[in-house]
Structure 1
């Protein structure tokens, strides 16, 4: 044991998750979560046009910002709930942030 009880480690992890820490860094506070490129690519994915690999990469980057980690998909006890939670957050960001970033 490293000196921390398991419950304390779990509480620390939960506190960090609630504070907005995600894979790849911290979600910016007061700023936008999605880049203009991610907004453009997510809008394209929501259209009827055939998706590109770059659009899929942007979608994955946005899901990672929302806290989803696709690495342990084969042994993730929270799948698909964790993916769906990240998708809801990305959808919220898309609806609230992207209209200002996308051309009208």
Structure 2
């Protein structure tokens, strides 16, 4: 009986989660990268000497893309990092073209 109560309490959360997946989750028109992240990613791609702040900005973008560097034993490394990098690259291409000319 205790297991049945646990399953019932999880059911609303699963329904909510699946509803988000069915509707596509996040809206496509929403931006994923902040203007600061766009600026810092542009600077990192220019082969200039990177700053700690630029690296932190890049890590924030990778975390938004689903990468979790805090896992001690990640059986999916480096594939999960590479997948996040590809997603951030896609976001950069679509959202950060205005930042390419900024210093």
- Alignment correspondent of 1:86: 84
Structural RMSD (CA): 2.6
Q: Hey, what's the Cα distance between the residues in 2 that align with 1:68 and 1:103?
A: 25
Higher helix share: 2
Normalising by structure 1, report the TM-score: 0.71
Larger Rg: 2
Q: Which runs of 5+ in 2 are unaligned?
A: 8-13
Q: Which consecutive segments of 4 or more residues in structure 1 shift more than 6 A?
A: none
Q: How many residues align?
A: 86
What does 1:70-81 align with in structure 2 at a 5 Å threshold?
70-72=69-71, 74-81=72-79
Match of 1:95 among 93, 96, 100: 93
Q: 1:26-79 CA deviation, whole Å, 9 max, x = no partner? A: x8522110000000000000012100001001000000000000001x300000
Normalising by structure 2, report the TM-score: 0.71
Contact 2:62 2:85 in 1 (8 A): yes
